[in-house]
Structure 1
Amino acid sequence: MSAERQAAADAGGAAPEARHANWQADDTLLNHLARNAREVPDRVALRERDHGIWQEYTWAEYLDRVLAVAAGLEQYGLKPEDTVLVVGDNRPALYFAMLSAVALRAVPSPAYPDATPQEIGEQMKREGIRFALAEDQEQVDKLLEIRAGYPELELIVYDDPRGLKGKEPAGVVGFETIAAAGRTRLQAEPKLRDDLLGRSSVHDVAVLLHSSGTTGAPKGIPIKHGHILFAVRNAAQAEYFREGEVHMAYLPMAWVGDFTFSVGAAILLRFSVNIPETQETALNDLREIAPTLYFSSPRAWSNMLTRIQVGIDESTPFKRWLYNRFMPFAVELERRRLQGRAPGAGERLWRALGEFLVYGPIKDQLGLRRVGRPYTAGEAIGEEVFLFFRALGLDLRQFYGQTENCALAAAQGPGSVKLHTVGKPFPGVEVRLSDNGEVLVKGDNVFDGYFQRPDATAETLVDGWLHTGDAGYLEDDGQLVVLGRVSEVVYTAAGERFIPTFIENRIKFSHFIRDICILGEGRAHLAAIVCVDIDAVGHWAEEQGVPYTSYADLSQQDAVYDLVEGVLRRTNETLPEGLQIRRFINLHKPFDPDDGEVTRTRKLRRNVIDDHYRPIIDALYSADDQIEYKATFTYETGETGELTRQLHLRDVTPGQAAQTAHANRAETHRAAQ
C-alpha cells in the first residue's frame, strides 16, 4: 500500500504488526493456494458452465493460471500499491486475475456489474485506478466511455472475446494474451514462480471492497489476508464451514460475501467452487451443482418460495393434494420444535413419509438435497419463509456481519435457532453494546480502517472496537438481536421513537412486498410507500382473476391495494398504537438503483426517495385519496421524458384485534369516569 493509504488504513493506531501480533507473515491466500496445488493438485477447485458444458480447473491449474497472469500483468506495467478495477459477473478469469494482482501486491477493487459508467468512473477517480479487468464487451464499452473523460486508465483486460478479439481498441488486451506473456516469462525466469508466491504478506490488502453508500459516496474498505483468513478459521471452528464444501459462486463479486465464500474460505478449506453460466440460469444450474453449502439473501429465499408455490399451483391435482396435506403439517411441526417441543413418534413417522413424498422431491428439484449448511443474512427473513425451508428439512440459519468484519461476526448454531436473533458471536470475536445500544465488534477479522478516510476511521474504530452502526441487544443466552441502524432512530411528532428499517423488515416478511419506505419522522403518524413484488403479486393476480397489463397497472388495482392493506394491518397488530401505519400508496414502479433510490444491495437511500417523491409524501399526509404524479424517466440516449400517473392513496383500517383493543380501552376509560 502507498504511504497515504497505509496511513489512512492505520489511522490512530499502532503499526499492523503490533495490532495483529498473532498473524504470521507468510499466512497468505497465495501460500494456501500453493499448498493446495502441492497437496491435492488433481482435485477440482473451480468449475464453470460454458455453453452447457462444465469446464473444470484443478488446484494445480488454478495456481498456474494465477501465476501466469501475475507475470503477464507485471510485464504490462502493474506495480505494487496499484488499485485494479474488477467488473463483471462471476468468472474464473476474474478470480484468477484478482489473485494475480494480489501476488504483485496490487489491490483488486471489484465493482457491481450493473453499476453505471458514472458510478464506476467515480470509483476509479477516488482510487486512482490505471488498470481494469472486465468480463466482456458490455463492460469494456463502459470502461471506454469512462476513459474518454479519464485518460489515466491505461489498460483494460477482457475475458470474453466475443465482439472484441481482433478488433481491440488501443489499450484493450485479452486475458489470454496477458496469460501467454506471463507463461513465456515464467519459462524464461525459473525463479519467478517462487518469487511471485513470496511477495505478499499477511498484512497486505487482499481486496478493496466498498460500503453501500446509503448516505453518500461509498467508502473503500481494505480487507487484508489476515482479516479474511482469521474470519474463515473462526467460522470453521464453529462448524459454519467444513473442508471440501461444494459451493456455488453467483453473488456479486463486489459483495463481501462472495470474497469470503468463493475466495477466502474456498482456498483455505479447499472448496469446489461452481460458477453458473449466467445469472439468469443460476437456479437451473443449482440443481446440477447440488451444493453442500448455500448462502442466499432473504429476498432470494422468498423468491424461491414463490417459485415453489407457482410450480405447485400449476402441477397435477394429486401433487397439489400431497403438498397441501404435508407442508402445513411440517411447518407447524417446525414451529413447535423451535419452541422446544419435541415431536411424538407418530409425528416423526408422518414426517418421514413426507420426506419421501414431498420434502425430498422439492429439495431435489431446487438442487438443495445435499445442502448441509444453508444460510441467510443481509436483512431480517420472513417467518413464513424461514419456517418453510426449515420444514423442508434444511437447517436454514441466520448470520450477521458487515464488510468491515468480513461478513462473519455472529451466527445461529445448529441447535440454537430462534426466529428473531442472528446467533452468538463466532469464536475469537467479541460483541458488546455501547451505552446507547449500538452493537460493537472486536476481533482480528475487523478491518484496520477506511481507504483515505481517517475521519471515518476514527469514528468507526475506537480502541479496537468496530462501531457497526446497528442497534441491538443481547439475550440472556448470548444471542444477538439486531433492530436496525442507530442513525435511523427517529421520532414522530408525538415523541414516539422508532427505527424505520425494523418496521420495514417486518413488512417485507411478506413475499408480496419487494420494497417499502416507512415515513413518519416529525409527523403525526406513520405512512408507507410500497413497491409490490411483480412475480409474487402477478401470480396472485392471475390466480384471483385480476387482469393487468404492466407493473404500474397491477400496482393500482383495488384488489392489490386490499392485499397490501392486509399485510400492513397484520404488521400493525404487532406494533404500538403510536407506531402503526395509517396511510400508504403503491408506487407505480420498483425502487431502482439506476435512479439512486436504492443501493446495488437494495438498501434504501432515504434522502433520494424524499427528494424524488416529495409530492407523494405530502399527499400521504393530506386528505387526498389520489394524486396525479409526473414521473421523469431517462432514455438510453440520455434524453429525459415525463409520464403522468394517477396513483391511489389509502388509509389502513384497523384489524379486528386493534378494534377490540380500542373498544376495551374506551370501556376502561368510561368506567374510570
Structure 2
Amino acid sequence: METTFPRLLMQHAKQRPDAPAMREKEYGIWQTLTWARMARLVEDIACGLHQTGLTRGEHVVVVGANRPRLYATMLAVQSLGAIPVPLYQDAAAAECVFPINNADVRFAFAEDQEQVDKLLEVRAKCPQLAHIFYDDPRGLRNYVEDGLGSVDELIAAGDVFAKQHPQFFHNEAEKALPDDVASMFFTSGTTGQPKGVVHTHRTLLDRAKAGADFDRLTEAEEVLAYMPPAWIGQNIFSYAQWLACGYVVNCPESAGTVMIDLKEIGPTYYFAPPRIFEGLLTSVMIRMEDAGALKRRMFHHFMDVARRVGPALRDGKEVPFGERLQYGIGNLLVYGPLRNNLGLSRVRVAYTAGEAIGPDLFTFYRAIGVNLKQLYGSTETAVFVCLQPDDQVRADTVGIPIQGVEIQVADNGEIMVRSPGLLKEYYKNPAATAEVKTADGWYHTGDAGFLDAHGHLKIIDRAKDVGRLADGSMFAPKYIENKLKFFPHIKEAVAVGDRRDKVCVMLNIDFEAVGNWAEKRNLPYAGYTDLAQKPEVYQLMKECVEKVNADLAADDKLAGSQIHRFLVLHKELDADDGELTRTNKVRRGYIAEKYLVLVDALYGGKAEQFIETQVKFEDGRTGSVSATLKISDARTFAAVKAAA
C-alpha cells in the first residue's frame, strides 16, 4: 500500500470523525474512542514526545496490554518518524535488557506499576534509558525517579504545543514514506537471543490489506484485542488491519475478564492461537462432566451428528435431508447455545495461527458452526502467507498462497517464500539476515512441508525438528504433541525420539480439567505435583496416549512414531522458567537439556526417577520443586495397511 500508518489514521479521522475507532472496558463499562478523538490523542502524544527530545529513526519500547493509549503511542511514535518496539508485558525484567540495549532505546512506555518496576529494575544495565512514561498511575504516587512521568502529563504538554504549532503534527506525519521502517518485533528466541525483525509501513500494510481483501473485511467488523501486542499476530489484527480497514478494536478490562468481554462484544473477526481454542474446549468439556445425565447424552449425540455433517454444511456441500434436519435440531439445542456461551455467535471469520492446531480440535469448532480457518505466516513474513478459502478448509493444510506470495519447496523439504511482506532485515544482524533471505528475495521459513495436488500448503513440522528414528522412520514431534494436546486433560507435551529406537513423551496435565475429574471421583490431592503422580491420573494419561498411538498406526508415514513410554512432569512448563517462549512455544532443546535425567530414565527402562527443579515464582523469588516421577509404558499397535 502506498501509504503509512499515520496517514491512514488522519484519513479515517477526516472521513469518519464520529465513527468508533476503539473501545476500552473500564470499571465494567465500555468507553468509546472515535477516530477524531484518537487522532487528537495521537497528535498530543506526538507533540509531547517531540518536546521531550524524541528524534526521527529512534526506537521506543512499548510494554503493556492492549489499551487505546498504547496504540495511540505507537501511532504518535511513527508520526515523528521513530519506531515502536512492543515487548511482552509478562516478560521478566531480565528479558527486556537485550531488546532495550540492542535498539539503543532512550524512551519507554509502560502500562502500569508492574511494567515501571520492571524497567526501573533494568535501568542500571540500560543506562541510556532516560524517559519512562506510564499510563496507569495507581501505586506510583510516591515514585521519585529521573525521567519518570505520566502519559497524562505528556498529553497535557503536547496539547499546549499543538495549539501553538497547529501544523507541526500534520507536517511531521506527512514526512513518513511507505518504505520507512514502521515497527520492530523481537522473535521469541526459541534457540538463543531474540532477533529484532524490522518491518516497513509497506510490508505490514501490504499484508494487512491482502488478508482483508481475501476475507472481504470491512469497517463493520468488531475485533477483541486480548493477546500481547508484542506478538505480531495481534499487532497485525488489531493495529495494521484496524487502520487498513477502519473497523472497531475492543480492549478488554483485564486478562481475567476476557471471556466475559468476549461474550459482550461478540466479535465478527476473531484470532487466537491453538492454546486459546484448547482452553475454550477444555472449559466446555469440564462443564459437560458436571451436567446431568440427560444433558450429557444430548450433547454427545448431537456432537456426533456435528462431526459427521457440520464441516460439510459449513463448506456448502450437499448433505442428506435427514442429517441436515438433525443438525438443525442440534443447532437449536446445542451448537447455537454453545457458540453463544463461548462468545463466538457472531464470528464471520475466525483464524488460528502461531503453531499447528490438532485436527480434532479444529474439526470440533467447524462442526459446531464456527468458520475457523488456519493461516500460515511468521513475524518475518508480516503474518499473511497462506490462507484458507471458505469452501476449501481442511484440517491438514494451512491454505493457498494469497495475493503477491510465491512458494517453493527446497530439495530438503524446507518451505521458501517470496512476498511483499518480507522483513527488511534483522536489526544489527546482517549475518542472520543473509541466512534467511536470499539475494533474489526468497525467505527460508525453517518449516518443512509441501504443496498438495490442490495447491494447498501442508506443514509437517519445523525443519530442524523433523527427525528420524533409529530404524529410519519419520519423527515429527509437533504432530505427535498436537494430537496429545487435543485431550482436555493434557495441557502440554514434549516428544523425544530423534535418532533413538522409540518415541517417549513428557506430559503436563491440565490442572483445572484433571482437578475437576479427580474431585468427581473423590480423589484427594494436595496441589499440582501430588495430583500429577496419582496412579489414577497415570491411567487416564495412558488411555490418551494409547488413543494417539491407534491414530498414528493408521498413518503409513508416522506409524513408527507411536509412543512407547511416558511420564507426567511434576511442574507445569513455564515461560518464566525458560521452558516456553512468551508465545507459549516449547523450547525443545532447552527442555531436553534441563530434563536430561528424565530422558535418560525413559530410555533406560526405569520405572521411576527422582528430580529436583528450580522454579521462579510470580513475585520474582526462586525456589525448587522435587518429586519422584513414575514412568509408564504404553501399548502400541501394528501399522494399518492402506487399502489398495
Per the normalisation by structure 1, the TM-score is 0.90
Cross-structure match for 1:460? 436
- Say if 2:373 and 2:388, in contact at 8 Å, map to a contact too: yes
Residue 608 of structure 1 aligns with an amino acid whose one-letter code is Y
How is 1:264-663 mapped onto 2 (pairs within 5 angstroms)?
A: 264-315=240-291, 319-334=295-310, 342-462=318-438, 463-573=440-550, 574-575=552-553, 576-634=558-616, 640-654=622-636, 658=637
1:196 aligns with 2:172: yes
Residue 73 of structure 1 aligns with an amino acid whose one-letter code is L
Given the superposition, is the C-alpha separation of residues 288 and 507 from structure 1 closer, same or farther in structure 2, using an over 3 Å criterion? same
Q: 1:134 Cα shift?
A: 0.2
C-alpha separation in 2, matches of 1:249 and 1:636: 24
Deviations 1:286-306 (A, max 9, x none): 111111101111111111112
Q: 2:21 aligns with which of 26, 42, 45?
A: 45
Cross-structure match for 1:15? none
C-alpha separation in 2, matches of 1:354 and 1:432: 43
C-alpha separation in 2, matches of 1:206 and 1:284: 34
SS of 2:464's partner is helix
1:33 aligns with 2:9: yes
C-alpha separation in 2, matches of 1:640 and 1:351: 53
C-alpha separation in 2, matches of 1:619 and 1:352: 52
Cross-structure match for 1:237? 213
Deviations 1:59-87 (A, max 9, x none): 01111111110110110111111111111
Cross-structure match for 2:134? 158
Higher deviation after alignment, 212-221 or 561-570: 561-570
Cross-structure match for 2:79? 103
Cross-structure match for 2:33? 57
Q: 1:324 Cα shift?
A: 3.4
C-alpha separation in 2, matches of 1:644 and 1:589: 9
SS of 1:441's partner is strand
How is 1:108-257 mapped onto 2 (pairs within 5 angstroms)?
A: 108-165=84-141, 167-239=143-215, 241-257=217-233
Residue 230 of structure 2 aligns with an amino acid whose one-letter code is A
Deviations 1:313-351 (A, max 9, x none): 334555445423422212222256589962212222232
Residue 608 of structure 2 aligns with an amino acid whose one-letter code is Q
C-alpha separation in 1, matches of 2:337 and 2:193: 46
Q: 2:45 aligns with which of 69, 83, 92?
A: 69
Q: 1:256 Cα shift?
A: 0.5
Residue 501 of structure 1 aligns with an amino acid whose one-letter code is K
SS of 2:443's partner is strand
C-alpha separation in 2, matches of 1:661 and 1:487: 28
Higher deviation after alignment, 497-506 or 525-534: 497-506
SS of 2:389's partner is coil
- Say if 2:218 and 2:246, in contact at 8 Å, map to a contact too: no
Give the superposed CA RMSD: 2.1
C-alpha separation in 2, matches of 1:608 and 1:413: 38
Residue 136 of structure 1 aligns with an amino acid whose one-letter code is D
Q: 1:356 Cα shift?
A: 2.3
Given the superposition, is the C-alpha separation of residues 329 and 62 from structure 1 closer, same or farther in structure 2, using an over 3 Å criterion? same
Higher deviation after alignment, 338-347 or 30-39: 338-347
Q: 2:57 aligns with which of 75, 81, 88?
A: 81
Instruction: Give ranges in structure 1 of 5+ residues lacking alignment.
Output: 1-22, 663-673
C-alpha separation in 2, matches of 1:638 and 1:190: 47
C-alpha separation in 2, matches of 1:157 and 1:242: 34
SS of 1:528's partner is strand
C-alpha separation in 2, matches of 1:338 and 1:543: 36
C-alpha separation in 2, matches of 1:536 and 1:320: 17
Deviations 1:120-142 (A, max 9, x none): 11211111111100000111011
Q: 1:364 Cα shift?
A: 1.9
Deviations 1:346-366 (A, max 9, x none): 222232232222222222222
SS of 1:148's partner is helix
SS of 1:397's partner is strand
Given the superposition, is the C-alpha separation of residues 437 and 150 from structure 1 closer, same or farther in structure 2, using an over 3 Å criterion? same
- Say if 1:67 and 1:196, in contact at 8 Å, map to a contact too: no
Q: 1:607 Cα shift?
A: 2.6
SS of 1:432's partner is strand
- Say if 2:374 and 2:398, in contact at 8 Å, map to a contact too: yes
C-alpha separation in 2, matches of 1:602 and 1:487: 19
- Say if 2:314 and 2:366, in contact at 8 Å, map to a contact too: no
C-alpha separation in 2, matches of 1:31 and 1:37: 10
Residue 416 of structure 1 aligns with an amino acid whose one-letter code is Q
C-alpha separation in 1, matches of 2:56 and 2:356: 41
- Say if 1:71 and 1:185, in contact at 8 Å, map to a contact too: yes
Residue 204 of structure 2 aligns with an amino acid whose one-letter code is I
C-alpha separation in 2, matches of 1:126 and 1:36: 35
Identity over aligned residues, as a percent? 39
C-alpha separation in 1, matches of 2:288 and 2:444: 46
Deviations 1:465-514 (A, max 9, x none): 11111000111111100011112233333343423223222322323222
* Number of residue equivalences: 635
Given the superposition, is the C-alpha separation of residues 643 and 513 from structure 1 closer, same or farther in structure 2, using an over 3 Å criterion? closer
C-alpha separation in 2, matches of 1:650 and 1:397: 36
Q: 1:637 Cα shift?
A: 7.9
Q: 1:116 Cα shift?
A: 0.6
- Say if 2:198 and 2:426, in contact at 8 Å, map to a contact too: yes
- Say if 1:530 and 1:587, in contact at 8 Å, map to a contact too: yes
SS of 1:305's partner is helix
C-alpha separation in 1, matches of 2:208 and 2:616: 44
Per the normalisation by structure 2, the TM-score is 0.94
- Say if 1:237 and 1:427, in contact at 8 Å, map to a contact too: no
Given the superposition, is the C-alpha separation of residues 288 and 637 from structure 1 closer, same or farther in structure 2, using an over 3 Å criterion? closer
- Say if 2:315 and 2:393, in contact at 8 Å, map to a contact too: no
SS of 1:241's partner is coil
SS of 1:548's partner is coil
- Say if 1:88 and 1:112, in contact at 8 Å, map to a contact too: yes
C-alpha separation in 1, matches of 2:182 and 2:131: 21
